[in-house]
Structure 1
């Protein structure tokens, strides 16, 4: 009987040792939608994958890699474009490039849990037109992320620039000008108004930015009119257009407000080849 009991005790100790080994901590794997689990330290293919760094925003990554925000949201199955984490692996190439169907996951970091973003269809992802990971101060580099033509080298025009006499431009708001253009301190004109007043496209074109990622401009719309000219509409309280929308001259694109401003007003700029010019040389007299 003693031998039998001793044998049972040894068997129980061995079983507990096996269970303890199963519960031992290990490296959490990075999941891939089409293959078996791999260690988090596996090499990253920089041509198809980007690892999120401190200070990154999804919009900034999209512009840096020459991709659209909608593509990154779709390829990575992101339910909220504003929430990405340091260390997260993002697919920056279509699913048919590289591994075929990788899904973005957050790499484990001390004190945080792993979150696997669900895969979603590219036709069902809502695009938020708000701050993409916070605002950043104005600089030539920050503006270049908002206005793709910013920083372009000035090219001597083959013909005189468009002016008010060409009839291309119209006033974006009906209020009075309270601050004029000054190359050093004010890159456009400030037009007074009341919250909710309509803001109109000054010329036909395509929306290249709609959001609030540039400090000092509040809720901002940028419209590209041709290879030379963009127009800028800042401090709005509501944005009525999104990126890639085609707009007509005089179309309502926003509602006047006071975001990042000391009073309700529209800050309006005209940029030629990425450089601010005096809007009063282009707008018709009134």
Structure 2
């Protein structure tokens, strides 16, 4: 074959390999279970919420699969299951019934007494009210131009990128409790996760300074961090909202900008 043919093939391979790496700096991998390991070695500084966030899982599922009485009870150096344990159904042993003859006594005449049924009073058990997204008063975490919006496609941006200035205030999008404040997830930099209800969490990544600690109760609009830079050097906040462990479009929850 001609040498020029091989040069063309080589150039095509190089172009395709470069384009495949052109993904968003912060992407959500959890929707595809094929890449996810069966277990995770808990590192120092991890919380159940940060582990669930990294692998795209619901923290309540992780707690149930690992028989944790509380989401706060994880120990560095221990292994954590990242999938539901296999359930084995045991077959019930077959039972044989032996026919036995029972001596029947002659029927006796009994007088039927009418029985009056008392109306049964059923106790109505009230279920505890769960806080829905409509009860959570969302607000924008910071000001600035939208550099990137949410995409449902796996491997793309799973939240909002809001451009701004270094050390610009980052505020809580709603009231809640800080369940993670650290930099254990490399792609997110210094990140804060706030739990707003049993279903909803929000995250604030690429912070320069974090002003809150884990376990701290936060009010809506409270300054929790200062804006920092991403891996590529651009100054912006990466903001996400997750419902039951899955990313959702924040713009469907946040008020419209004026």
Could you tell me the TM-score, scaled by structure 1's length? Answer: 0.47
Distance in structure 2 (CA, Å) of the matches to 1:250 and 1:215: 27
Q: Go from structure 1 to structure 2 and tell me whether the alpha carbon gap of 1:271 and 1:194 turns closer, same or farther (over 3 Å shift).
A: same
Shift of 1:228: 1.1
Q: Does 1:278 align with 2:249?
A: yes
SS at 2:151 equivalent:
coil
SS at 2:180 equivalent:
strand
2:191 to 198, 220, 227: 220
CA-based RMSD? 3.4
Distance in structure 2 (CA, Å) of the matches to 1:260 and 1:150: 31
Distance in structure 2 (CA, Å) of the matches to 1:150 and 1:195: 37
Instruction: Assess if the C-alpha contact under 8 Å between 1:233 and 1:269 holds in 2.
Output: yes
Q: Go from structure 1 to structure 2 and tell me whether the alpha carbon gap of 1:194 and 1:252 turns closer, same or farther (over 3 Å shift).
A: same
- Report the equivalent of 2:150: 181
1:148 to 46, 55, 59: 59
2:139 to 170, 191, 198: 170
Shift of 1:183: 1.8
Larger Cα-atom Rg: 2
Correspondences of 1:125-274 after superposition (within 5 Å): 142-143=54-55, 148-149=59-60, 162-163=133-134, 168-184=137-153, 185-274=156-245
Deviations 1:6-62 (A, max 9, x none): xxxxxxxxxxxxxxxxxxxxxxxxxxxxxxxxxxxxxxxxxxxxxxxxx762234x7
SS at 1:237 equivalent:
strand
Distance in structure 2 (CA, Å) of the matches to 1:140 and 1:216: 15
Instruction: Assess if the C-alpha contact under 8 Å between 1:219 and 1:237 holds in 2.
Output: yes
Instruction: Assess if the C-alpha contact under 8 Å between 1:215 and 1:260 holds in 2.
Output: no
- Which of 1 and 2 has higher RCO (CA within 8 Å, sep 6+)? 2
Q: Go from structure 1 to structure 2 and tell me whether the alpha carbon gap of 1:266 and 1:63 turns closer, same or farther (over 3 Å shift).
A: closer
1:59 to 45, 56, 68: 45
- Report the equivalent of 1:118: none
Instruction: Assess if the C-alpha contact under 8 Å between 1:236 and 1:258 holds in 2.
Output: yes
Deviations 1:258-284 (A, max 9, x none): 143540000110111111100000000
Distance in structure 2 (CA, Å) of the matches to 1:258 and 1:170: 22
Unaligned runs of 5+ in 1: 1-54, 65-137
Distance in structure 2 (CA, Å) of the matches to 1:224 and 1:160: 12
SS at 2:187 equivalent:
coil
| Number of aligned residue pairs | 152
